Amino acid sequence: MLLSKFRGNPFYLNEDDIAWVEDTLSSLTQEQKIGQLFFLIAYGNDRTQTENIVRKVQAGGVMCRCMPAKELVAAVGEMQEKSALPLLVAANLEAGGNGIAAEGTLVGSQMSVAATGDPENAARLGEVCAEEGKAVGANYAFAPVCDIDYNFRNPITNTRTYGADPATVAECASRYMKECQSRGMAVSVKHFPGDGRDERDQHLCTTVNDMSCEEWDKTYGAIYSRLIAEGAKTFMVGHIMQPAYSKALNPALKDDEILPASLSKELLCGLLRKKLGFEGLIITDATTMAGFDAAMPRDRAVPAAVAAGCDMFLFTKNLDEDYAFMERGVKEGIITKERLDEAVARILALKASLGLHKKDNRPSLSGAEAVLGCERFRGYARKVADESITLVKAEKGVLPLTPAKYKRVLVYDIESGENPLGYARASGIFEKVRPLLEKEGFLVTRFVPKPGNEGKTAAFGEIAKNYDLILYFCNLATKSNQTTVRIEWLNPMGSNVPRYVTSVPTVFISTENPYHLLDVPMVRTYINTYGLNEFTLPCLIEKLAGRSEFKGKSPVDPFCGRWDTHR
């Protein structure tokens, strides 16, 4: 019965493909079936890692972190060669091919794409992710992010989303998905049942989508329904609770029995499968997150995720231990034979839908080098940079910025630490900006706080006397394992706070987070870039100088709902 469904949306298998799925499934041992449930991770071309993935576990898939193309091609080639079944090879292809290959193109964050106002740029992002990903052996994009950035305090969604408007999210995600999948790259709609409502991080705790069923249907549900109808092959489910639907589908549930989607039969089978009609593959988000572990003891949670309706299990905390937990879950009947076969059949069907069983899935370095960072893709990145930069508010008469008006410029740079997940961001912002400003003819000074407390700090008049313009470049990226994305000011006494806005023309540029007006409401000229690719800063300078117009439109409320930020 299940195999017959594979003829339709989203796999559209022909009779030969279905025969391969059926024959392969019947030939696998129980041990091999259990191995197919696991989606492991590769950090480089390491032989022990390869042996674990393809020999010890016989995993169904592997996610690659960003690494140099040479190393990546060797790693994927070896894994595919040694694997008895073709591997699903995935990456966080959210912003460009740089999500998997160091030489890949960073087109721009999803929010920068949305800020252009042109959904065609989302399609071009999908093209780059598919072509550059395939060039190094990937066949599966952990994207698009279909979360809605309702809560400006959320430390994770932010610029990874297409914004706060469900219609924009749906259209951009649809364009990305169609382009990717038309080029042989499966996508994963994430993170069901929807992040962006909570202000907490599922890496650190189980989070909550607090919408009513009716609200959810009109927003997240509408996005998911459209993408399912249009052929989304997979969904990634988050460690996110949706209490309203959990209770609606199971009125007997008590509050302390509500589980995150990754462990919830109500949300997986009742909402995603039955109500929304999704027949593709379901994969968990990373099970190394506290949002998963905190829900129940791990020995129970590992098999419970599959028993509840997930087909693949993303990552392990301890490979031997988690495999033993899954194996025991099968032996004890927590995962029934029927549920195991159903999950593995969907894994095989996804592979067949991508034609992995019919081709050599090993990439070549020459092929990768011909595609990665090619001029066409860099042109897309340049276009997104030019069209996304947003002038949120402007003090009359301050722009454009020219040396004739403001020769002496004081630059305040505010940076964040390294992002361990490798999401798009740049570091050393002052070193990148300074030569661009000096080329324009400005005399540039970097702000350095002077020691001293009350009565001993630098004189107020020094700034107004010595500088014609103050420029802020705030480069604070969102990342996992943090609970907020706010500006932490320097001592003494917040010495780098924009305190001279009434005395010296001041322009504040946020290169990453679109919500910094919350912390600098006194600033009267404010700009968002939603991330940095190689063209963002040159495009920004062109706009500041008046040679190019500001074209971006904010996909979120940069004023954070506050009246004073508008002044």
Report the C-alpha gap between 44 and 47 in whole angstroms.
9
Q: Extract the tokens encoding 97.
A: 């091919």
- The length of the chain is 567
Omega cis (within 30) before 400? yes
- Percent of the chain as helix, strand, coil, to the nearest 5: 40, 15, 45
Report the C-alpha gap between 116 and 122 in whole angstroms.
10
Report the C-alpha gap between 402 and 522 in whole angstroms.
23
Report the C-alpha gap between 316 and 310 in whole angstroms.
15
Ramachandran region of residue 417, left (φ > 0), alpha (ψ -120 to 50) or beta? beta
Strand 88-91: give its sheet, edge to edge. Answer: 281-284, 234-237, 186-192, 140-141, 88-91, 61-64, 38-42, 313-314
Q: Please identify every residue annotated as catalytic.
A: 285
Q: Extract the tokens encoding 173.
A: 């995600």
Helix (H) or strand (E) holding 378: helix 375-388
457-465: long-range contacts, CB 8 A cutoff, minimum separation 24: 457/492, 457/493, 457/495, 460/503, 463/410, 463/500, 463/503, 463/504, 464/500, 464/503, 464/504
440 Cβ neighbours under 8 A, 6+ residues apart: 402, 403, 541, 545
Comparing CA positions, the residue from 26, 38, 25, 31 lying closest to residue 345 is: 25
Comparing CA positions, the residue from 34, 81, 88, 90 lying closest to residue 61 is: 88
Comparing CA positions, the residue from 533, 566, 422, 515 lying closest to residue 196 is: 515
Report the C-alpha gap between 200 and 245 in whole angstroms.
20
Strand-pairing partners, residue 141, are 91, 187
For the chain, the first-to-last Cα distance in angstroms comes to 62
Report the C-alpha gap between 475 and 132 in whole angstroms.
27
Q: Extract the tokens encoding 106.
A: 């960073």
